[in-house]
């Protein structure tokens, strides 16, 4: 029981690339990955913009038969997980598979397969619905598929807390290690929900952007002209280990997962707490568990969705926690370039936060042009910034009032 949890591997699949390095290079360059939807014909939809993963070929990761039997969200998870494992240098074998947990968050699961199944049922009848529809649509099948493919026999489940799912999965995986139920965890989030029904539903809730004429600039967090988020897809995965396990095998430690806080607003099904108190409590909890003071944090990767309420109330919450220091604290939203990957967002942004910590570069908030009096902090507008960082925070907030905050710090062995 107890000890420290460290990160030894990172993986990403996003609208800016199929690897963590490709995505990171795009973010630092301030390049937008959002464009007009191509996965279906968006004509007639109020929102026609998305952060799609372009030219993704599942056959690079699995054979044709398996690709036909797995949903896109499962394929993204496997691609990101194999990248993270490769970087970690860790191979699961029969001797230690029971010590490896797999926790993968998603908010929508196999929505693409479910949508296709409904269409088949409607047009061709029940006898033509695939026998693999259920295992392709179940939210737990990203974690289940990973477990089977990799031989990970430890704790295994999917976590759903809307747009906080990826962050919560990482935090709970760390808790599993800390309580001694695993030595290694493959943890993160995945999403592939750019479908007609999801876009129509989010648009009906007035959550999505309507900036269809400027798709590359449609996501503009903290900007006064923001008008909704850009739906996106992708995956982010981490390999977490107990410090002792990483040391024993001579692993390269990328960062320490120092703190995790999770709270509920208990306020509204879609809107954040009107005082930002729920998000503030999550940040305070993460700081307390990390044993850090507010001014120990050098950068925040904000939830920053580009919606009117989220950006304003996340700003309020940051001010509650960090006080006057909030005005000196660099904050950015990489959703400005990637779009909002829903249940994968917290995991993708955790990877981004670690890369920022390691590189000494803060990715910008792209598309920022018109200041908002209610969002008056330093959002690192448009251009990446060099900075010395020892500890960084990543925030994730979800429909239903879910709040999650992760803190990563530069790893230093105990003296």
**Mind listing the pLDDT tens digit for each residue in 75-120?**
999 999 999 999 999 999 866 799 999 999 999 999 999 999 999 9
pLDDT at 95: 66
Specify whether 340 is catalytic: yes
- Buried b / exposed e over 344-372, threshold 16 CB at 10 Å, is bbbbbbbbbbbbbbbeebbbbbbbbeeeb
Average of per-residue pLDDT across 298-317: 97
Over 60: is that where the pLDDT of 1 sits? no
As a whole number, the mean pLDDT across the chain is 96
CA distances for 179 relative to 1, 102, 220, angstroms:
5, 15, 40
CA max distance for the chain:
67
Average of per-residue pLDDT across 359-384: 98
**How many angstroms separate the CA atoms of 301 and 190, rounded?**
18
**Mind listing the pLDDT tens digit for each residue in 38-80?**
999 999 999 999 999 999 999 999 999 999 999 999 999 999 9
**How many angstroms separate the CA atoms of 270 and 368, rounded?**
25
pLDDT at 136: 94
DSSP 275-286: TSHHHHHHHHHH
Residue 404 pairs in a beta bridge with 262, 396
Q: What percent of the chain has pLDDT over 70?
A: 99
Nearest CA to 371 out of 362, 385, 381 is that of 381
pLDDT at 400: 86
Average of per-residue pLDDT across 312-331: 98
φ and ψ at residue 265, rounded to 5 degrees: -70, -35
φ and ψ at residue 210, rounded to 5 degrees: -120, 15
Average of per-residue pLDDT across 173-178: 98
The set of long-range contacts for 156-161, using a CB threshold of 8 Å and a minimum separation of 24, is 156/101, 156/102, 156/103, 157/103, 158/103, 158/104, 158/105, 158/106, 158/109, 159/103, 159/104, 159/105, 160/105, 160/106, 160/107, 160/343, 161/105, 161/107, 161/398, 161/400, 161/402, 161/404
Which tokens is 266 given? Answer: 């208990």
Q: Are the beta carbons of 226 and 112 closer than 8 angstroms?
A: no
Which tokens is 5 given? Answer: 């949890």
pLDDT at 391: 98
pLDDT at 270: 73
Number of domains in the chain: 1
pLDDT bin (cut points 50, 70, 90) of residue 233 is: very high
pLDDT at 272: 79
Specify whether 303 is catalytic: yes
**How many angstroms separate the CA atoms of 285 and 363, rounded?**
25
- CA-based angle 381:382:388, to the nearest 5? 70
Task: Please pick, among 18, 145, 245, 340, the residue that the annotation labels catalytic.
Answer: 340
Where in the sequence is the domain holding 34, given as residue range(s)?
A: 1-415
The answer for residues whose C-beta is within 8 angstroms of residue 134's C-beta and 6 or more apart is none
Task: Please pick, among 163, 245, 375, 402, the residue that the annotation labels catalytic.
Answer: 163
pLDDT at 94: 65
Task: Please pick, among 18, 245, 303, 402, the residue that the annotation labels catalytic.
Answer: 303
Over 70: is that where the pLDDT of 361 sits? yes
**How many angstroms separate the CA atoms of 58 and 70, rounded?**
10
CATH code of the domain containing 327: 3.40.47.10
pLDDT at 326: 98
**Mind listing the pLDDT tens digit for each residue in 379-392?**
999 999 999 999 99
pLDDT bin (cut points 50, 70, 90) of residue 269 is: confident
Q: Are the beta carbons of 405 and 283 closer than 8 angstroms?
A: yes
Which tokens is 91 given? Answer: 């191979």
Nearest CA to 240 out of 39, 60, 411, 46 is that of 411
């Amino acid at each position: 029981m107890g000890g420290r949890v460290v990160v030894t591997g990172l993986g990403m699949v996003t609208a800016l690339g199929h690897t963590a390095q490709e995505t990171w290079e795009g973010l630092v360059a301030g390049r937008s990955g959002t464009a007009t939807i191509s996965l279906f014909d968006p004509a007639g939809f109020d929102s026609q913009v998305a952060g799609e993963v372009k030219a993704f070929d599942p056959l690079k990761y699995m054979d044709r038969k398996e690709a036909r039997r797995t949903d896109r969200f499962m394929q993204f998870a496997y691609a990101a997980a194999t990248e993270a494992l490769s970087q970690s240098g860790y191979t699961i074998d029969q001797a230690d598979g029971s010590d490896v947990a797999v926790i993968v968050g998603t908010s929508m699961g196999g929505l693409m397969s479910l949508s296709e199944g409904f269409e088949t049922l409607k047009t061709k009848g029940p006898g033509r619905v695939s026998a693999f529809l259920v295992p392709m649509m179940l939210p737990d099948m990203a974690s289940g598929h990973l477990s089977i493919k990799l031989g990970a026999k430890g704790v295994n489940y999917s976590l759903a807390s809307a747009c906080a799912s990826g962050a919560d999965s990482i935090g709970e995986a760390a808790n599993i290690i800390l309580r001694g139920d695993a030595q290694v965890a493959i943890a993160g989030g995945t999403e592939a929900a750019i479908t007609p029904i999801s876009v129509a539903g989010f648009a009906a809730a007035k959550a999505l952007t309507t900036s269809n004429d400027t798709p590359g600039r449609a996501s503009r967090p903290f900007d006064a002209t923001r008008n909704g988020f850009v739906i996106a897809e992708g995956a982010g995965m981490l390999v977490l280990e107990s410090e002792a396990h990483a040391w024993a095998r001579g692993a390269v430690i990328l960062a320490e997962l120092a703190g995790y806080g999770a709270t509920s607003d208990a306020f509204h099904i879609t809107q954040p707490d009107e005082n930002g108190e729920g998000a503030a409590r999550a940040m305070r909890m993460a700081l307390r568990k990390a044993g850090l003071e507010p001014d120990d944090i050098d950068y925040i990767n904000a939830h920053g969705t580009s919606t009117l309420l989220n950006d304003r109330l996340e700003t309020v919450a940051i001010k509650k926690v960090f006080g006057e220091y909030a005005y000196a604290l660099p904050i950015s939203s990489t959703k400005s370039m990637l779009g909002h990957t829903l249940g994968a967002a917290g995991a993708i942004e955790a990877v981004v936060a670690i890369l920022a910590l390691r590189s000494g570069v803060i990715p910008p908030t792209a598309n920022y042009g018109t200041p908002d009096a209610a969002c008056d902090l330093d959002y690192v507008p448009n251009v990446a910034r060099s900075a010395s960082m020892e500890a960084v925070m990543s925030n994730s907030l979800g429909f239903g009032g879910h709040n999650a905050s992760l803190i990563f710090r530069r790893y230093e062995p105990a003296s």
